[in-house]
Amino acid sequence: MSIFKIEANINLALNALKGKIKMMGINASGFLELKPTPILSVLTQTCKLLSLKAINLKDCNEIWRLKEGEEELADVLKLKPEEILIRWVNFHCHEAGHDELKIKNLGKDIADSKAMTVVLNQLDKQNCSKDPLNTEDVVERGAQMIANSLNMKPDAVPYTASGKDISRGNTNVNTQFVANVFNTKHGLEL
């Protein structure tokens, strides 16, 4: 394939993603020159977008359980997938008696791995222990939490990050991890 066709294909792909991911400073030349920053930016944002795709009432009828107070179902339908995931994490932390782990975002609030350790335990008590909560080192706690997620039965959560990655608090990485857990087993059934 000629360089012109390669560049045309890259431009087609980038144009398809416009409005769906942040594209500032990203163009075909960054891909042609194999610059890691724009390539990784597009890949992580695209993976996040795909992970969030099924987080809606159509694909998960039980999302209605995440409504708060006097909200109507219509209010829940207006929530962005990220807002649903935040409510989902908080729902499971509340159910487990860990209201102190309530999160407000999917970046820094997930970085210590405590809330997701509790969520994983709620989803699969037999295979996902709360032992990581006893670990002081945040990177090691994250690694233990990820190991728990890989132990979930019958389907393990797809591997997406390391303990170090989670501990950095990167919103894209952590959102993708939380979304993969949700998509594997949401635990909202009655």
State the CATH number of the domain containing residue 104: 1.10.418.10
Three-class DSSP category at 60 = coil
Closest alpha carbon to 110 in 44, 45, 181, 175 = 175
Region class of 102: left (phi > 0), else alpha (psi between -120 and 50), else beta: beta
Q: Give CA torsion, residues 72, 74, 77, 79, to 10 deg.
A: -70
Dist. CA 174–CA 178, nearest whole Å: 6
Are residues 121 and 92 part of one domain? yes
Query: Residue 189 falls within a domain, yes or no?
Result: no
Task: Give 154-166 pLDDT, tens digit per residue.
Answer: 677 887 789 999 9
Query: Residue 99 falls within a domain, yes or no?
Result: yes
Are residues 29 and 85 part of one domain? no
Contacts for 167-171 with beta carbons within 8 Å, 24 or more apart? 167/111, 167/112, 167/113, 167/138, 167/139, 167/142, 168/111, 169/107, 169/108, 169/110, 169/111, 170/107, 171/105, 171/106, 171/107
Q: What share of the chain has pLDDT > 70, as a percent? A: 99
User: Which amino acid, one-letter code, is at 46?
Assistant: T
Q: What share of the chain has pLDDT > 90, as a percent? A: 62
Are residues 111 and 28 part of one domain? no
Task: Give 95-136 pLDDT, tens digit per residue.
Answer: 999 999 999 999 999 999 999 999 999 999 999 999 999 999
Higher pLDDT: 24 or 87? It is 87
Query: Residue 190 falls within a domain, yes or no?
Result: no
The range of the structural domain enclosing residue 26 comes to: 3-52
Are residues 20 and 101 part of one domain? no
Dist. CA 119–CA 184, nearest whole Å: 12
By residue count, the chain amounts to: 190
Are residues 67 and 47 part of one domain? no
Dist. CA 113–CA 92, nearest whole Å: 14
Residue 9 has pLDDT above 70, yes or no: yes
- The residue from 14, 30, 52 where one domain ends is 52
Are residues 76 and 48 part of one domain? no
Can you read off the two tokens belonging to residue 190?
Answer: 């009655």
| Helices 114-123/81-95 angle, 10° precision | 70
Cα 2 to its chain centre, rounded Å, is: 37
Number of domains into which the chain is organized: 2
Residue 84 has pLDDT above 70, yes or no: yes
Q: How far is CA 103 from CA 57, 114, 165, in A?
A: 22, 10, 18
